């Protein structure tokens, strides 16, 4: 019975209830007249044991994590709100990145078009030098646009 006491009030209540049961069982085995005061005392003793066990259960409940469910729910709601804010920021960054990619691709296409046009020119043509100068200025402007888009 000493093992029950390791569980505190719950174990003590259980041990007392077992003792009360044994008293009732021993009283029923006896033949003869029923001793009412002994039965009443045994029932009171058993009631006390059950109240003690119930008090032990209640105290264990409040000591356990179950009593902190409200705080955990509040913390979980805050974490969900924080996660939602982070996901929103992530989506905005992703959209910004997509816009930057679109700008970069269009600038690269313009640059490639200028390079292709330059490759088709005949160096002996009288339009060659002014056109090369124009394309060179356009390429420099595109390079500046790319650097600006990259944040350099």
> What is the reported pLDDT for 111?
74
Residue 72 sits in the same domain as residue 134: yes
Query: pLDDT band at 68, cuts 50/70/90?
Result: confident
pTM of structure = 0.41
Which residues form the domain of 115?
Answer: 68-152
Look up residue 103 and give its two tokens.
């700008």
Neighbours of 89 (CB within 10 A): 10
Reply yes or no on whether the pLDDT at 51 is more than 90. no
Q: What is the pLDDT of residues 13-43, one digit of tens each?
A: 777 778 887 877 777 777 677 777 877 877 7
As a whole number of angstroms, the distance between CA 114 and CA 112 comes to 5
Residue 26 sits in the same domain as residue 73: no
> What is the reported pLDDT for 5?
55
Residue 83 sits in the same domain as residue 148: yes
Q: Could you tell me the sign of the dihedral formed by the alpha carbons of 135, 141, 146, 149, in that order?
A: negative
Query: Treating both helix axes as pointing N-terminal to C-terminal, what angle do 9-29 and 36-63 enclose, rounded to 10 degrees?
Result: 160
């Amino acid at each position: 019975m000493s093992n029950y006491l390791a569980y505190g009030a719950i174990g003590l209540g259980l041990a007392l209830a077992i003792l009360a049961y044994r008293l009732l069982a021993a009283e029923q085995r006896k033949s003869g007249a029923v001793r009412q005061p002994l039965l009443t005392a045994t029932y009171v003793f058993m009631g006390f044991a059950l109240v003690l066990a119930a008090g032990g259960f209640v105290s264990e409940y409040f000591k356990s994590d179950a009593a902190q469910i409200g705080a955990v729910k509040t913390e979980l709601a805050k974490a969900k709100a924080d996660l939602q804010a982070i996901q929103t920021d992530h989506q905005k960054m992703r959209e910004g990145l997509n816009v930057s990619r679109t700008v970069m691709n269009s600038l690269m296409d313009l640059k490639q078009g200028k390079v292709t046009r330059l490759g088709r020119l005949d160096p002996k043509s009288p339009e060659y030098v002014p056109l090369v100068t124009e394309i060179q200025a356009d390429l420099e402007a595109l390079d500046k646009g790319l650097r600006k888009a990259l944040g350099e």
